[in-house]
């Protein structure tokens, strides 16, 4: 687990010369589970051994840790595993620091060492929240490769994000293409799959992730179909304007999102499997089996769905309705059935995206909403309503987002900015989007 945090910090380029600091929500691995008690902060101090590609970690024992906040403070010393568990009241913010003088001899810190970090319990308020963070000391050979050495890893991260965005945004584009609706509730369809999968994976029958996931995806597909049958089809029959329908979808999204928060709580939670596995090395990049799985499955889904759209009878019918629904229905295509199919497929795809996203970043009540803006950016950049445009747009947005962290390693928290600025700039240059067509007046 700690390896994971360190890697992600490294990739994002938060540190350069050996000492890395990463703060993360508690992960659900066996080693961490023991420490997950109410109001605890788990701090680990590890040394990154030199000359081994940064893989091995030596826990550092006997380091003095201090946690201080408005609601109280606590002191501790790391044990043989390099861990110190500190109990504090579970409110507000805490500053966590370690005493450099207490490091054992031979363990170095450099001048730009960050010896403090902060933890905020007000994020994700719910009972049972434990927070963990790690201090990394020692030198790292990977980091000495410098900026260019980090680029391949950044690109891999970009591809992963792009693929997840693509899976989610194709559905968005198909729905827009066939019905004209910009569906703000797509984010909640994404979250639905992750939550249902989480239930099967952890609360209910505790099935392995790969067995639980299809149920989550099915739930999202059902949710999409239900939306179409219960909300959008009746509204279309009443000739409701698209603007009105868009605002309806916003209302549904907000309402549903808080239903999730009500039942699921504010915490970010992990699926049981595929957490904390060591990375597989591919030359300059390291990928965890989980991320590799996410990328392979996503790529298969994207390619498979493209073939479905291009080659099969249903795919062609969908594209026909998308191009011109009046013409399509004149040629005998049942547009209502196609639209229902699009909602089911779009929902299912969003569901797959949701499970992937949940595996990558954890399951959270607003996880869909967090990436919704990136999805809109992707499908807008690609040209509204064109599924292949959404695919292209997802790659533009995904790569821009991750490359931002590489170009501006000091403002990682603003990485969404890169994508949003790309959106604005592309629309200025090409107002109809990458694969879109100009509209005719008259």
Partner 1 sequence: MSTDTSAVPFESVPGSQKPDAILVVDNVTRSFGGLTAVNVAHLEIPRHRITALIGPNGAGKTTLFNLLTGFDEPDTGEWKFNGLSLGGVAAHKVARRGMVRTFQLTKALSRMTIIDNMRLGARNQRGESVWRGIIRPIWASQEQDITQKAEDLLERFNLAHMRDELAGSLSGGQRKLLEMARALMVEPEMVMLDEPMAGVNPALKQSLLQHIKVLRDEGRTVLFVEHDMDMVREISDWIIVMAQGEVIAEGTFDDVGSNSKVVDAYLGSHHDVDLGDHA
Partner 2 sequence: MNWGLILSNSFYTAISANAIAYMLVATGLNVHFGYTGLLNFGQAGFAAIGAYSLSIPISRFNWPWPFAVLLVIVSAVALALLLGFTTLRLRADYLAIVTIAVAEIIRLSLNSVRFTWLTGGNDGLQGFTSFMEKLNPFPQQGIWLWKQKIDGYRLWLLVSGWVLLMVVATLVYLLMRSPWGRVLRSIREDEDAARSLGKNVFAYKLQSLMIGGAIGAIGGVWLVLDKQSSQPGDFATTFTFFSYTIIILGGVARVKGPVIGTMIFLFVIQFVDISLQQATKTTPSDPTPLLPTWLIDQNNYAQLRFMVAGFALAALVVFRPQGIFGDKREQAFDVH
The residue among 53 and 437 lying less far from partner 1, judged by its C-beta, is 437
Q: 58 burial class (0-12, 13-18, 19+ CB within 10 angstroms)?
A: middle
- How many other CB atoms are found less than 10 A from the CB of residue 189? 31
Residue 125 site contact among partner 1, partner 2, none (CB < 5 to 8 Å, cut-off depends on kind): partner 2
Measured between alpha carbons, how far is 391 from 166 in angstroms, rounded to an integer?
5
CA dihedral 433, 389, 226, 243 (to 10 degrees): 10
Nearest to 195 by CA among 321, 36, 364: 364
CB of 238 to partner 1, least distance (A): 16
Q: Per rule CB under 8 A, is residue 442 in the interface with partner 1?
A: yes
Question: For the chain, how are helix, strand and coil distributed in percent, rounded to 5?
Answer: 55, 15, 30
For residue 118, the Cα-to-chain-centroid distance in whole angstroms is 22
Measured between alpha carbons, how far is 62 from 65 in angstroms, rounded to an integer?
9
The residue among 333 and 373 lying less far from partner 2, judged by its C-beta, is 373
Q: Per rule CB under 8 A, is residue 57 in the interface with partner 2?
A: no
Q: Which stretch binds partner 1 (CB under 8 A): 218-226, 258-266, 375-383, 433-441?
A: 433-441
Q: Which stretch binds partner 2 (CB under 8 A): 3-11, 300-308, 336-344, 369-377?
A: 369-377
Q: Which of 155, 222, 299, 427 binds partner 2 (CB under 8 A)?
A: 427
Nearest to 255 by CA among 365, 126, 375: 365
Q: Which of 104, 312, 414, 437 binds partner 2 (CB under 8 A)?
A: 414
CB of 346 to partner 2, least distance (A): 17
Q: Which of 51, 106, 148, 243 binds partner 2 (CB under 8 A)?
A: 243
Retrieve residue 410's tokens. 């000091």
Q: Per rule CB under 8 A, is residue 438 in the interface with partner 1?
A: yes
Q: Per rule CB under 8 A, is residue 116 in the interface with partner 2?
A: no
Q: Which of 235, 272, 333, 434 binds partner 2 (CB under 8 A)?
A: 235
Where do contacts with partner 2 occur on this chain (CB under 8 A)?
125-127, 182, 235, 238-244, 246-259, 261-262, 265, 373, 376-377, 380, 384, 410-411, 413-414, 416-417, 420-421, 423-424, 427-428, 431, 439, 441
């Amino acid at each position: 687990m700690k390896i994971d945090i360190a890697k992600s910090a490294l990739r994002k380029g938060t540190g350069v010369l050996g000492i890395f600091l990463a703060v993360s929500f508690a992960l659900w691995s066996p080693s961490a589970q023991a420490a997950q008690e109410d109001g605890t902060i788990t701090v680990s101090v590890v040394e990154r051994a030199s000359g081994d590609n940064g893989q091995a970690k030596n826990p550092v024992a006997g380091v003095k840790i201090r946690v201080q906040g408005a609601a109280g403070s606590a002191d501790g010393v790391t044990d043989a595993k390099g861990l110190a568990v500190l109990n504090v009241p579970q409110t507000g913010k805490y500053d966590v620091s370690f005493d450099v003088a207490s490091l054992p001899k031979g363990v170095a810190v450099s001048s730009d060492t960050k010896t403090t970090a902060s933890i905020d319990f007000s994020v994700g308020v719910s009972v049972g929240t434990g927070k963990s963070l790690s201090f990394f000391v020692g030198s790292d050979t990977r980091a000495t490769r410098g900026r260019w050495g980090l680029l391949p890893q950044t690109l891999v991260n970009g591809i992963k994000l792009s693929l997840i965005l693509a899976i989610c945004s194709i559905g968005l584009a198909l729905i827009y293409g066939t019905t004209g609706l910009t569906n703000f509730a797509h984010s909640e369809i994404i979250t639905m799959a992750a939550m249902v999968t989480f239930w099967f994976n952890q609360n209910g029958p505790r099935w392995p992730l790969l067995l639980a996931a299809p149920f989550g995806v099915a739930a999202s597909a059902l949710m999409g179909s239900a939306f179409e049958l219960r909300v959008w089809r009746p509204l279309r029959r009443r000739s409701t304007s698209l603007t009105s329908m868009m605002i309806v979808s916003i209302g549904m999204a907000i309402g549903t999102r808080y239903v999730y928060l009500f039942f699921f709580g504010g915490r970010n939670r992990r699926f049981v499997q595929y957490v904390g596995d060591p990375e597989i090395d591919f030359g300059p990049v390291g990928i965890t089996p989980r991320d590799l799985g996410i990328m392979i499955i996503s790529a298969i889904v994207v390619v498979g769905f493209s073939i479905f759209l291009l080659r099969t009878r249903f795919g062609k019918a969908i594209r026909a309705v998308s191009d011109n629904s009046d013409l399509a229905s004149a040629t005998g295509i049942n547009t209502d059935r196609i639209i229902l199919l699009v909602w089911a497929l779009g929902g299912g795809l969003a569901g797959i995206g949701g499970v992937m996203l949940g595996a990558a970043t954890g399951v959270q009540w607003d996880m869909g909403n967090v990436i919704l803006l990136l999805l809109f950016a992707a499908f807008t950049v690609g040209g509204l309503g064109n599924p292949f445009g959404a695919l292209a747009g997802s790659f533009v947005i995904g790569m821009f987002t991750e490359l931002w962290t590489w170009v501006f390693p000091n403002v990682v928290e603003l990485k969404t900015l890169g994508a949003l600025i790309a959106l604005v700039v592309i629309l200025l240059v090409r107002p109809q989007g990458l694969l879109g067509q100009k509209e005719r007046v008259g």
